[in-house]
Amino acid sequence: MRAPRRLTRLISCAALAWPLTLTGCSLFPTTRKLPVPKAPAVVQTVTPEQLVAQLNQRWDALQTLTATVQIQATELKTNQGLAKEFPTCRGYILLRKPRTLRVMGQYFGIRVFDMVSDGQNFTLEVPPRNVAFEGSSTEKGKSPNPLENLRPEFFLDALMVRGLSLDEEYMATSDTATMEDAAKKHLYSVPEYILEVVRRKTGSQELSLVRKITFHRDDLLPYEQEIFDSNGNLETQVSYGTYAQFVSGEYPSKVTIKRPLEGVEIALTVESVNKNVNLPADQFELKLPSGIKIQKLE
C-alpha cells in the first residue's frame, strides 16, 4: 500500500533533519544580541570646502611650536616578528615655519642627541659617541641601520597637519569606524571625514595621492594622517591621540609616527606645548665641539 504523498514528504524532511541535528546544525534561524556601539553626543556636518578651510586656517595660524615630550623609538622587523624598543628619553622640540626644526633628547639631563634642520640640510650630533652626521633633509638614507635612514622632513610633517598648497586638489568622503574601549568594556562608533589630497603629475592628467587625513566629526580635528611618496607607497603613518588643552590651545596628547618602509616607529607622549612664541635664530644653531668626528650622509 502506497503511503500518502504528504506523509512521504514529512518522512523525507525528517530524514534530512536528523543528520543536521547530529552535527549541531539547525533548519531555523537563531537570534543573538550584539553589542551596540555608543555614538558620540555631537556629530558635525560640514562640506569638503569647509573642512579644507578649517585645516588651512589652523595651519596658517601657526608660526612656531615648542614641545616637551617623552620619545620612545622602536625598530620593527615584521618578517621576523620582532620589535626592538629603545629606552624612553626626554625630548625637546622647536619648530619654526616654513621648515626649520630642532629636536634634542636627554637621559637624566645628559644630551644623547641634538638635531637641527633648515629644511634643506641637517646636522645630527650624538655626544656619547663624539660623532655628528650631516646630510640632506630630504634624501633617503641607505644605511642598514633603519634609524640612521630617518630624515627630519617626516618628523616635521608629522608634528602638525599642514594645509593644502595651491597645486593640490582634494576629495572628501564620510565613514564610521567602530572602536573598543578596553577600560569601559564597550564599543563606540566614530563618525569620520576622510580627506584625500592629490596632485596632478607634471605633463599628465594622472593624479597621485599625496596625503590622506582622517577627521573625527565630533570636533573636526585630525586623528590620522597618511603620507605617500611619488610612487604611491605609504611612507609615513601618523596617529594623533586624544587632544588635550595646553597653554596655547589644543594639541594631541600622543603622536605616534610609523615608517613602514624603514620599519621604525616613534611615539611622542606630549607633556607641554606652546605655539607662536618667539624663537630667535640662534636657537636653531648647533655648534659642534672641536675634535668631533663628522660623517657625511649621502
The model's pLDDT over 127-183, given as tens digits with 9 standing for 90+, comes to 999 999 999 987 766 666 666 667 888 889 999 999 999 999 999 999 998 888 766
What nine digits make up the cell of 52?
579644507
- 274 or 144, greater pLDDT: 274
Any idea of the CA torsion for 107, 109, 110, 111, to the nearest 10 degrees?
80
Mean of the per-residue pLDDT values of the chain: 88
Give the DSSP letter of residue 38: B
Query: Which residues on neighbouring strands pair with residue 168, listed in sequence order?
Result: 199
Segment 109-115 shows an average pLDDT of 94
Ranges of beta strands (E only) in the chain are 64-77, 82-85, 89-96, 100-107, 110-117, 121-126, 131-136, 168-181, 186-200, 207-216, 222-228, 234-240, 243-246, 249-252, 254-259, 264-275, 293-296
Judge whether 259 and 249 are in contact, CB under 8 Å.
no
User: What distance in Å separates the CA atoms of residue 84 and residue 242, rounded to the nearest whole number?
Assistant: 26
User: What distance in Å separates the CA atoms of residue 127 and residue 107, rounded to the nearest whole number?
Assistant: 12
Please report the pLDDT score of residue 224 as a whole number: 98
Judge whether 270 and 249 are in contact, CB under 8 Å.
no
Segment 106-134 shows an average pLDDT of 94
Say if domain 48-296 classifies as CATH 2.50.20.10.
Answer: yes
pLDDT at 23 over 70: no
pLDDT at 1 over 80: no
**pTM for this entry:** 0.85
Q: Where are the domains of the chain?
A: 48-296
Segment 242-249 shows an average pLDDT of 93
Query: Is the C-alpha dihedral spanning 257, 258, 261, 263 positive or negative?
Result: positive
pLDDT in tens, 50-77: 999 999 999 999 999 999 999 999 998 7
Please report the pLDDT score of residue 7 as a whole number: 54
